[in-house]
Chain A
């Protein structure tokens, strides 16, 4: 993966820049030494590493504003970082850029239950929000598997998902407002405790912009009431095709589960060895279907799911009788990544989305690719919304294996696009899928996206080298190509 060539002038001026930064905020919150910056050299995508110019740990919006205005003036690149759990390299540092960590902005500023929202700083972890309001019977819906460590600021940047997106949406569907700082240092406020934008929905485009548009300094999240009842069904199938059919028939039957997850044989085995969730080891595929709502709705939904699963050939169908048991059903799925980490020195998680009806076909293709590349693969899916997480196992100490794993991953993602899906469902493009963007978008599509970037950050200081395969200068993108004197289809009726 080629990153933009570092600016030699900036590299040479490192000591001056660090000195300038130390004058802007308390000196001990600028980390510049080798030992101090080492922990920031990578994120959840550990195959890529890069030491940053320096790391800054501001404590207030005002400090972030000062830092960004300085970087804008001085021409220094900025890589924003939340919990550092990105699986696409969103927080991968740049040699000529500083890492701006939001770790010290970690307070819940206000819980406002009458307005069903909470105002939090970006460094608050995803899970901490739900925990803060649990006793009042509320929660924050998006629940990425990394929720104990990932931060809400990072969730906004990546438009993070989780297992309950099917019914409750991604981060973007659960935000009410943000305060953000532009690269110029200007502070903007979008939304608040009311619903929906008054003009352009800039909150909507900032969400999922992967740190390329602005730095979010406060977030107003929507809180939901915990449903009256939640139960889950665990259904074991002989093979993937039957489980895939079952998924399509549940959705086709008008049921909207709170979550619907699928695991293949390899993932079941690894998860069971890791956390003893009680999964049937002879199953070729497992479905976890969670239904929530009123007692009556849940009872009926669970019965429908059981019936469909039975008719699709499920051999073993269990229903959670307590919350503990329901959480045990989930524990294997939620620990699938570390479980694979235990049986393979390294693994590479993919994140494409495909139309649900093609799940079984995609699984066959992944198995074929695994055989061709000589790599083991375990699969977990957010099956309800067609979001795949194949985990390709490799050994980075074996020459060529990482490259083979990446090549195989790219094949899978290209197949996702061919099948009518997309490159990334929730992990983001980052550096990882940057060079595959051309599979999904043509030049005009990408240029229009970059023009949005130009409106926010014309010099391209925020997180350069991520998302876009080719970096165009804004002046070049701004040029208009017009031809005078052409009359559009003169044969058309007009008056």
Chain B
């Protein structure tokens, strides 16, 4: 029977990792566990939760950064930022509904899973907003990287490495993120009855306004789920000092299709739903995330032939729910984009998780390099072993 550790501070957390190292007792590393279902099931008896390390340590609105203990609930951070009309511009996705779990997302988990939201294609990914962190590596040593400022090239940029590493290199104890002002105005434009092939052409007038910060294409089933009319729908978001005017301007340039303007709070609510994959959340089947060049989108959708999909980032990211055994998602991606892209299995039943590689298989030289990086930070494989693949 494994043990569960809930350290209250970084020193206690360091002790737990040192103990695990000395006993070669692998740890499943979690915050509140909301992302436990993503990736391969971890091969560990013991659980280490960083949820007890909580609280905002520093927040400087005019310096545009916030430092918080890794277990700080994201909700608490969002509230503090909202008080100053600021936000996390990378718009982290909240997949609790899609993964059918309870609990709070923590900032450490947000960084570890690196699920960037709809604004990513204009504002950058999670990794672009992590300025620095403190962590305990699998070597049982506490270390830090980065700082509080954006302009910083002092030493290797380990913040990039820790973001998206799913706790397999080190357990974060503190994170410093970049924060950004909330736009004065937000408005959205819903274009109904579109085809996937039209996405680029329809997005063009929006891109020209310079204010487009969201571009999502929904399959017919997903559009219907959000009451956005018949057929596939395109949802465009405009943010800025003149977001409303920009939306209206783009609407004027899209001829011959039903369009509707969605404003203010209604628009914000719509985008929270899109961010959190609301139209896909309740569909049964395997949930996949696909990254691809936008020019490969049509071919991918045609080949994959799935009904339930949400295309984000102006055609560069696809979320889809596929009947588990039928759809060869990676095969479709390969035919559409060659090796330029990747598909990650985000949610699936136990059998599918064990029979499919959750992360995109990599070229041999990269597999070796990745395993080598892992060994340098966690030589005995005590942190989330197996989470990102057999060697990682």
Contact = CB atoms under 8 A, between A and B. Distances in A.
A425 B152 contact: yes
B5 to A, nearest CB: 6
Contacts of A382: 151
Q: Is the interface of A mostly helix, strand, loop or mixed?
A: loop
A452 B161 contact: yes
Given A353-B152, A421-B149, A194 B63 contact: no
> Which range holds the interface residue count of chain B?
35 or more
A464 B376 CA distance: 19
A488 B154 contact: no
Given A188-B365, A195-B120, A422-B149, A173 B181 contact: no
B112 to A, nearest CB: 12
Contacts of A300: 241-242
A172 B211 CA distance: 23
B143 to A, nearest CB: 4
Contacts of B163: 201, 204
B101 interface: no
Contacts of A478: 376, 379
Contacts of A217: none
Given A196-B125, A422-B152, A293 B240 contact: yes
Given A297-B242, A444-B141, A494-B5, A385 B154 contact: no
Nearest to B181: A254
Given A194-B341, A227-B210, A495 B365 contact: no
A252 B85 CA distance: 11
A437 interface: yes
A354 B151 CA distance: 9
A200 B291 CA distance: 15
Contact of B148 (A114, A207, A208, A420): A420
B201 to A, nearest CB: 11
Interface string B349-392: 00000000001101101100110111111011000000011001
Contacts of B370: 199-200, 202
Interface stretch (B17-25, B92-100, B255-263): B17-25
A377 B295 CA distance: 52
Contacts of B155: 429, 437, 440-441, 445-446, 449, 467
A290 to B, nearest CB: 14
Contacts of B342: 194, 198
A445 B5 CA distance: 25
B284 interface: no
Contacts of B200: 114
A298 to B, nearest CB: 9
Contacts of A134: none
Contacts of B380: 480
Interface of B: 3-7, 12, 15-16, 18-19, 21-23, 60-64, 85, 114, 116, 120-121, 124-125, 127-128, 137, 139-145, 147-161, 163-165, 169, 180-182, 200, 207-211, 240-242, 245-246, 291-295, 313, 316-317, 337, 339-342, 344, 359-360, 362-363, 365-366, 369-370, 372-377, 379-380, 388-389, 392
23 contacts: A115-B294, A165-B151, A169-B128, A170-B153, A173-B128, A187-B365, A192-B341, A194-B316, A198-B291, A198-B342, A199-B392, A200-B164, A203-B160, A204-B127, A297-B211, A353-B151, A421-B147, A425-B151, A448-B141, A478-B379, A482-B21, A486-B18, A488-B5
Interface of A: 112, 114-115, 158-159, 161, 165-166, 169-170, 172-173, 182, 186-190, 192-205, 207-209, 225, 227-228, 248, 251-252, 254-256, 292-294, 296-297, 300-301, 353-357, 382, 385-387, 420-429, 433, 437, 440-442, 444-449, 451-456, 467, 478, 480-489, 492-495
